[in-house]
Structure 1
Amino acid sequence: MKYALLIHEDHAAYQSENDLHAVMEQHARLVESLGDTLLAAEGLRDQSTTTTLRRDGDTVDFHDGPFAEAREQLGGIYIIEVESLDEAMDVARQIPMISKGAVEIRPCESEG
C-alpha cells in the first residue's frame, strides 16, 4: 500500500544554514536506506510561496499563503510503498527534524 508521509515542523527552529544542512544530510541517508520502499520524496519551499484555493459551492478564490495559520508548516513529503500501516509508522519514526514536529501518515488513493 502507498502512504504519504507529510512532514510538519517549525521552520523557525533552523537557526543557521548549518542546522538545515545537518538535517538535509540525515534526509539523504534516510532516502538511501529506504531503497525501493521510497517512491518519491520532495522538500517544499517556505510557506510564504504558497497559493491556496478555497472553494465555497460554485465560488472559487485563490489566496496567497498557507492553507492554515500555524507555527508548524508542511515542509516536505515522502511517498512510500509498504505492506502495512505499522511499516509506514516505522519509516515515519526515522524522519529527521530539528525540533518538535509531526509526520502525518496518510494512505494514498492509488494502489500502484
Structure 2
Amino acid sequence: MRYMLLIYNDEAAMANAPKEQTQQVLAAYGAYTEALHKSGVWLAGDRLRPTQATTSVRLAGGKTNVLDGPYADTKEQLAGFYMIEVADIDAAIEWAARCPAASSGTVEVRPIWEMAEYAAA
C-alpha cells in the first residue's frame, strides 16, 4: 500500500537555526532518504520551498482568487514529503518515526486513496 509521509516543521525555527544545526538536519535527511531507497520502499519525495513562495488558489462565485502566501497561518508548515510503498500502516508508522522531522516537528502518515479506475484513462 502507498502512503504519503507529510513533513511539517516550524519554518521560522529552521530559518534561524545555526548553520551547524542546519547541516546536521540535512545530513540526517540524506541518511533517511538513503535508507528509504536501500529498503526499496521509496517512491518519491522532495523538499518544498518556504511558504513565502506559496500561491493559494480558490474559486468563489465563479471567479478565481489567487493569494500570495499560504492560506492558513499555522505553527508548523508543510516542508516536504515522501511517498512510500509498504505492507501496512504499521510499517508506514515505523518509517515515519525514523524521519528526522518526527523529533522536531510532525510527520503525518496518510494512506493514498488508490483510484485505479482513473489511472487507466
TM-score range, shorter chain: 0.7 to 0.9
Query: CA 1:99–1:57 in structure 2 vs 1: closer, same or farther (change >3 Å)?
Result: farther
- Quote the Cα distance in structure 2 between the aligned partners of 1:37 and 1:57: 43
Number of aligned positions between the proteins: 112
Q: State the shift of 1:60 in Å.
A: 2.6
1:18 aligns with: 20
Task: State the Cα RMSD in Å.
Answer: 2.0
Q: TM-score scaled to structure 2, two decimals?
A: 0.82
Is the 1:9–1:99 contact (alpha carbons within 8 Å) kept by the matching residues of 2? no
- Give the 5 Å matches for 1:20-35: 20-35=22-37
Q: State the shift of 1:111 in Å.
A: 7.2
Is the 1:10–1:99 contact (alpha carbons within 8 Å) kept by the matching residues of 2? no
Candidates 30, 40, 43, aligned match of 1:39: 43
SS at match of 2:3: strand
- Quote the Cα distance in structure 2 between the aligned partners of 1:51 and 1:18: 31
Deviations 1:15-70 (A, max 9, x none): 12322221111111111111210111100111100001123363331111113111
- Give the 5 Å matches for 1:66-85: 66-85=70-89
Q: TM-score scaled to structure 1, two decimals?
A: 0.88
Structure showing greater radius of gyration is: 2
- The residue identity in structure 1 corresponding to 2:68 is D
Gaps of 5+ in 2: 117-121
- Give the 5 Å matches for 1:100-111: 100-110=104-114
Report % sequence identity: 37
Query: CA 1:81–1:70 in structure 2 vs 1: closer, same or farther (change >3 Å)?
Result: same
